[in-house]
Amino acid sequence: MNRIKEVLKNKGISQTWLADQMDKSYTTINEYARNKRQPSLEDLYKVAGILHIDPSELLVKTNIKNEQKQV
């Protein structure tokens, strides 16, 4: 999962603007933002570069131990 939607909101940036900057469709960016589709590693780094943030800020931190216990 990613935090693209949250980061865009915090920065006051629209998904449409990001789509234009990345030369991607609005639909693709919206799917990334809603976690319906995950960006490639290359696209994740591109988003981070455009937003001037560390790529790790776009990732949701998970606790693998807890996830394994819930399975």
Domain ranges of the chain: 3-58
Q: Using N-to-C axis directions, what is the helix angle for 4-11 and 15-22, rounded to 10°?
A: 110
Q: Are 69 and 15 in contact (CB under 8 A)?
A: no
Burial class of residue 4 in the structure, from the number of CB atoms within 10 Å of its CB (0-12 exposed, 13-18 middle, 19+ buried): buried
* Per-residue pLDDT band at 71 (split at 50, 70, 90): very low
Q: Which residue has the tokens 């949250």?
A: 6
Q: What is the pTM of this model?
A: 0.82
Strand partners, 59: 2
Q: Write the pLDDT tens digit of every residue in 16-54.
A: 999 999 999 999 999 999 999 999 999 999 999 999 999
**The pLDDT of residue 68 is above 60:** no
Right CATH number for 3-58 from 2.170.150.70, 1.10.3720.10, 3.10.20.30, 1.10.260.40? 1.10.260.40
Q: What is the DSSP letter of 56?
A: G
Average pLDDT, stretch 2-17? 96
